[in-house]
Amino acid sequence: MIEYSGNLQRVVTAVVSVEQKRQASHRLAHQPAVTITHLSKAFKGIPALQKVSLTVQTGEMVALVGASGSGKSTLLRTINGLQLAEKGEVKIFDTSLQNNGQLYSKSRHLRSQVGFIFQQFNLVNRLSVLENVLIGHLSQISSFRSTFRLFTKAEKTRALAALDRVGILTQAYKRAALLSGGQQQRVAIARCLMQGAQIVLADEPIASLDPESARRVMELLVDLNQERGLTVITSLHQVQMVRFYCDRSVALREGVVQFDGRTAELDDNRLSRIYGAAAEELVQRGHAEIFSS
């Protein structure tokens, strides 16, 4: 553990500047961030994804829309290899991650470029906030250091910089279990920054949060997308959130892409044509407080 001192803020500011430059220099701006071709996946014979094809350009912020069971979470998990599809291919920066149910040899390196934010945060509650953020760096250090969680002072300072960026630096040495849901989700985002992810996949990141925490998390994702050019693909259950934060939407129904285009074109009439009565689930006015201020 490094000491929390009055000089820490200056160190953190310097590290943030270096990290932003490092991220910018590694972005592959002329290649699609994610390319999905004819992706199909089934669970116990029930289709979850059906011949999904999708291209997400570097620096885009894309929302996946759909009622429960539409395939949003399955699609996100296949993008970073947490789940294997039976058929089809996923490419990350034009390099194949998986194809017809097989992970490629470079999958570890590719997956290190893809951060994942879970609805239930996926933190280790008994560890400190700082240690949870450092977990994002495990794939880049030796097995020995990883096993015993041996991190250098520079790595810890980078983790503190990530916490500062998401606005919870003062919580660094608290146990993760003591934080609110909104704070825990920001720890998860900081973990992605520590990982050095160029693509962030967020699976219903605000579904468990109160309106104010939801607003902070969504604004943070938008800011990181705009400031650092991170590619963000997020599933959101309510269309009003999508319309407020994402320019592009992909609507899924029963694992099939029904719409892919500008969010402004995904109006209530189009939703009704796609989902029928289930459209009410998507247009309900949850988190309305976000838009009333």
Task: Round to whole Å and give the CA distance between 58 and 51.
Answer: 23
Q: Residue written as tokens 């997308």?
A: 225
Looking at residue 24, its pLDDT comes to 47
- Mean pLDDT (whole number) for 174-188: 98
Where is pLDDT greater, at 123 or 27?
123
- Mean pLDDT (whole number) for 205-234: 96
Question: Which pLDDT tens digit goes with each residue over 101-125?
Answer: 999 988 888 999 999 999 999 999 9
Tokens coding 140: 């880049």
Is the model's pLDDT at 8 over the cut of 70? no
Q: Name, in order, each residue with C-beta under 8 angstroms of 212's C-beta and a sequence gap of 6 or more.
A: 182, 289, 290
Question: Which pLDDT tens digit goes with each residue over 88-99?
Answer: 999 999 999 999
Residue 250 exposed, middle or buried by CB count within 10 Å (0-12, 13-18, 19+) = buried
Question: Which pLDDT tens digit goes with each residue over 246-288?
Answer: 999 999 999 999 999 999 999 999 999 999 888 887 876 555 5
Q: Which domains does the chain have, with CATH numbers?
A: 32-291 (3.40.50.300)
CA dihedral 78, 74, 115, 199 (to 10 degrees): 70
Q: Side by side, which strands form the sheet with 248-253?
A: 114-117, 199-203, 231-236, 61-65, 248-253, 256-262
| Euclidean distance between the first and the last CA atom of the chain, given in angstroms as a whole number | 41
Is the model's pLDDT at 25 over the cut of 50? no
Give the range among 25-29, 135-139, 221-225 with minimum mean pLDDT. 25-29
Looking at residue 2, its pLDDT comes to 45
